[in-house]
Amino acid sequence: MAAGLVGVLGFFFLALRTDIGTGGLDLTYRWGLWFISIAIAFGGRLLLNLFVFNRAKPIASGIKISLPAGAISAGSRVLGPFLLLVALTLPFIVMAVYPDRDRQFIDLAILIMTYVMLGWGLNIVVGLAGLLDLGYVAFYAVGAYSFALLAQYFDIGFWMALPLAGLLAATWGIILGFPVLRLRGDYLAIVTLAFGEIIRVVLLNWYDFTGGPDGISGIPKPSFFGLDFTRTGGFAEFFGIDYDSIHRFIYLYYIILLLALITNFVTLRLRKLPIGRAWEALREDEIACRSLGINTTNTKLTAFSIGAMFGGFAGSFFATRQGFISPESFTFLESAIILAIVVLGGLGSQIGVVIASVVMIGGIEILRNLGFLKEIFGPDFEPTQYRMLIFGLAMVLIMVWKPRGIISSRNPSAVYKERKKIGSDMVAQGEGH
Amino acid sequence: MEYFLQQLINGLTLGSIYGLIAIGYTMVYGIIGMINFAHGDIFMVGSFIALATFLALVALGISALPLILFITLLVSMLFTSAWGWTVERLAYRPLRGSFRLAPLITAIGMSIVLQNFVQITQGARVKPLPPQIQGGVTLIEGVTENGTIAVQLSYMQMIIIATTLALMIGFSLLISKTSLGRSQRACEQDQKMAALLGVNVDRTISLTFVMGAALAAVAGFMFLLLYGVIDFYIGFLAGVKAFTAAVLGGIGSLPGAMLGGLLIGLIEVFWSGYFSVEYKDVAAFSILVIVLIFMPSGLLGKPEVEKV
């Protein structure tokens, strides 16, 4: 059955290949590939039926695996500080363990932390306030471009531009949010998506101001209290250590770690404030919220603008890390990845976001480096082109496996008498309006 | 005036394609209330299948163009429906009854999968197909200071508009008259109640995806014939535009989707005709935002009733 399906589906893509030849399009036949894929699907399905489905049913229905509740909460209590400790000491661990590839690993860590920060920022909007935002990358772009343009036209450094970029992104959040927040659910989603595309198209076509598809290059690097990371007269000379280009990477890593921790701290504190409570109430039930006298428009606007502000911070960090930005970096795919991180991690869960970004972003990068597969499948085999395919499949599989994300239970923010954990089946949130 | 008429015709042609894709979005949304992000990529898959079939038929030595076009249309509808069914089966059915964002994420995942699958198996380069249907009729000839301007209605545009009309009428009848359409409308109103009354909900939803995919295949084939250039990335923008069209017309309503598609097509063509080509997408999206602010449920949509 499955094999037949693969045969039908794959017929036009695996068996036939359209190529541009002389005088138009040519068609090549690849029957071998087609038959192999059918055989693989047949075999895979047979094995699955024989070993997984037959055995799993009687056992799984009989025994219900349940960890004691205390173990889970203790685990998550320890996990947070543990991850923090790892994050703080990461550059030194990496330098000690992989001295020859340290730059690559720290670069990867910076990338992951950027996504953690973006995930935490979006978590405010989607996870706490329950507003489905498909255009979060717009604020990321606003942050990046405002720093790049400020640096280009007014020669402003990173630390000066950072608050300005956040402020600008927050302003854009309000400008966008004000008219559209009356919309509900999917209408809001599509308008935010449209907004993200509008920003990208404007950046792409406003050639005189933003450089269009060429982007902006030569964005200044951040300085350490006025000390640059250059070969002479900079950071290394001031502290009397040997110059090493790795210093700048470590410094960048700590900047993004600091920014991400600020995001996390602010979010955690905001959840305890009336505004945070109002967000969560809004997510659970908007009508009840309104009848209790909460100004839903203001509540949504603050969620939107604070989320946007953190997006802006992350954006200007991205600009300074890359040194070059172009509209190519701010496509819908980025929004989708950030949203996927938030949802896969479990909405509203801070640690879930960390785990999801390590898995997703780290996973992508690992797939990029699978050189050994080349030796198995021959020199024509290019593993990098499969990484987005695998990324997409992983998204589908994780979601099917755990529809509520990796960390699906949640501590209530407000407690009455005793603190209970809310299981995922009890949480009816995520309505997105 | 002549220029205006010409742009009107072009806009209607483009709008028909958007409308056909938008119907797939709106039907799925009406029944299970989710944005099927992979639908744009189903459209792309459809146009690739059409391209391969077309070339295979030419290679087999069939020379009658209408026959080739007809067979290609049927084959691409059939195979794209199989894709639509599979996507629903793999990515959405396991998540039925789970919370709302989960199928959205699998849809985005599926869209990434489809794009990259086509890119790997068919290559990343643009596939050009020389125009197959040429000629047309001149409707009006006008004289301006620059010379004569003729309003052309090409056979291609006639075919597209006629096919779209025929499919629209067919689908409206299908929804309103057949038992399948009845069960679809029943599922739309209340899935649980429909199931209790003996409607096979899973089957109905699968068939909805199949129908949407078949229409997307038609749109994909027409896109291929009209523009003659496809690549693995066309699905995203077409999908977003079509979804915009569905929302603009009022999501969940079939005539709304068609109307929205035509409007988006017209806005795009007129904007690029009279103002600037670069900002045509911005224009389409801005109209969407403005319409939604003043008419939050779209042009033909039913206002949502909130119940506590």
Residue A19 contacts B, CB cutoff 8 Å: yes
Distance of alpha carbon B223 from the chain centroid: 10
Distance from CA of A344 to the nearest CA of B (A): 8
Best to test chain B binding among A396, A398, A409 (most B CBs inside 10 Å): A396
Q: Count residue pairs from A and B with Cβ separation < 8 A.
A: 181
> Given this model, what pLDDT does residue A59 score?
41
* Residue A287 with chain B: CB contacts under 8 Å: 306, 308
Higher pLDDT, B217 or A86: B217
Chain B, 4 to 33: residues with Cβ < 8 Å from chain A are 29
Q: Under an 8 A CB cutoff, do A183 and B125 touch?
A: no
With vertex at residue A148, the alpha carbon angle to CA A111 and CA A144, rounded to the nearest 5 degrees, is 40
Distance from CA of B147 to the nearest CA of A (A): 32
Best to test chain A binding among B32, B108, B132, B248 (most A CBs inside 10 Å): B108
Distance from CA of B164 to the nearest CA of A (A): 25
Q: Under an 8 A CB cutoff, do B106 and A399 touch?
A: yes
How far apart, in whole angstroms, are the C-alpha atoms of residue A283 and residue A300?
10
Residue A426 contacts B, CB cutoff 8 Å: no
Residue B144 pLDDT > 70: no
CB atoms < 10 A from the CB of A81, how many?
9
Residue B93 contacts A, CB cutoff 8 Å: no
Residue A179 contacts B, CB cutoff 8 Å: yes
Q: Under an 8 A CB cutoff, do A9 and B86 touch?
A: yes
Grade residue B308 by pLDDT with cuts at 50, 70 and 90: very low
Q: CATH number of the domain that B125 lies in?
A: 1.10.3470
| Contact (Cβ atoms closer than 8 angstroms) between residue A433 and residue A187 | no
Residue of B nearest to A392 (CA): B109
> Given this model, what pLDDT does residue B71 score?
85
Query: Tokens 């599989």 identify what position?
Result: A397
Residue of A nearest to B46 (CA): A12
Residue A432 contacts B, CB cutoff 8 Å: yes
| Blockwise average pLDDT, block size 10, chain A, 433 residues | 58 48 50 62 61 47 43 58 71 68 75 86 83 85 85 77 85 81 72 83 78 73 65 61 69 83 84 82 79 82 87 87 81 83 78 81 71 56 67 79 65 54 48 38
Chain A, 66 to 105: residues with Cβ < 8 Å from chain B are none
What's the number of domains chain B is made of? Answer: 1
Residue B292 contacts A, CB cutoff 8 Å: yes
Residue A240 contacts B, CB cutoff 8 Å: no
* Residue B46 with chain A: CB contacts under 8 Å: none
Distance from CA of B144 to the nearest CA of A (A): 32
> Given this model, what pLDDT does residue A64 score?
42
> What is the interface pTM, i.e. ipTM, of the complex?
0.75
How far apart, in whole angstroms, are the C-alpha atoms of residue B224 and residue B236?
15
Q: Under an 8 A CB cutoff, do A180 and B91 touch?
A: no
Distance from CA of B284 to the nearest CA of A (A): 9
Chain B, 169 to 228: residues with Cβ < 8 Å from chain A are none
How far apart, in whole angstroms, are the C-alpha atoms of residue A271 and residue A114?
22
Closest alpha carbon to B235 in B251, B216, B249: B216
Compute the mean pLDDT over every residue in chain B, rounded to the nearest whole number. Answer: 80
Residue A198 contacts B, CB cutoff 8 Å: yes
Q: Under an 8 A CB cutoff, do B121 and A13 touch?
A: yes
* Residue B35 with chain A: CB contacts under 8 Å: 186, 189-190
Which helix (DSSP H) or strand (DSSP E) does residue A27 occupy?
strand A24-29
pTM of the model: 0.79
HSE value, Cβ hemisphere, 13 Å, CA-based, for A99? 2
B226: which 2 tokens?
């009209």
Q: Tell me the sheet residues that pair with B140.
A: B151
Residue B122 contacts A, CB cutoff 8 Å: yes
Residue B282 contacts A, CB cutoff 8 Å: yes
Q: Under an 8 A CB cutoff, do A190 and B49 touch?
A: no
| Contact (Cβ atoms closer than 8 angstroms) between residue B205 and residue B88 | yes
Distance of alpha carbon B77 from the chain centroid: 13
Domain-located, residue B306:
no
Residue A395 contacts B, CB cutoff 8 Å: yes
Q: Under an 8 A CB cutoff, do B102 and A189 touch?
A: no
A192: which 2 tokens?
């935010």
Q: Are strands B127-128 and B229-230 parallel, antiparallel or unpaired?
A: antiparallel
Q: Under an 8 A CB cutoff, do B82 and A9 touch?
A: yes
Radius of gyration of chain B (CA): 20
Chain A, 100 to 129: residues with Cβ < 8 Å from chain B are 126
Mean pLDDT for B101-121 is: 82
Domain-located, residue B122:
yes
Domain-located, residue B301:
no
Q: Using CB atoms, pick whichever of A11, A12, A332 lies closest to residue B236.
A: A332
Higher pLDDT, A169 or B298: A169
Question: In which domain, by residue range, is B60 found?
Answer: 2-294
Domain-located, residue B123:
yes
HSE value, Cβ hemisphere, 13 Å, CA-based, for A94? 21
Mean pLDDT for B75-103 is: 80
Domain-located, residue B31:
yes
Q: Where are the beta strands (DSSP E) in A312-409?
A: 324-325
How far apart, in whole angstroms, are the C-alpha atoms of residue A396 and residue B90?
9
How far apart, in whole angstroms, are the C-alpha atoms of residue B39 and residue A40?
27
| Contact (Cβ atoms closer than 8 angstroms) between residue A422 and residue A412 | yes
Residue B229 contacts A, CB cutoff 8 Å: no
Distance from CA of A296 to the nearest CA of B (A): 16
Residue A205 contacts B, CB cutoff 8 Å: yes
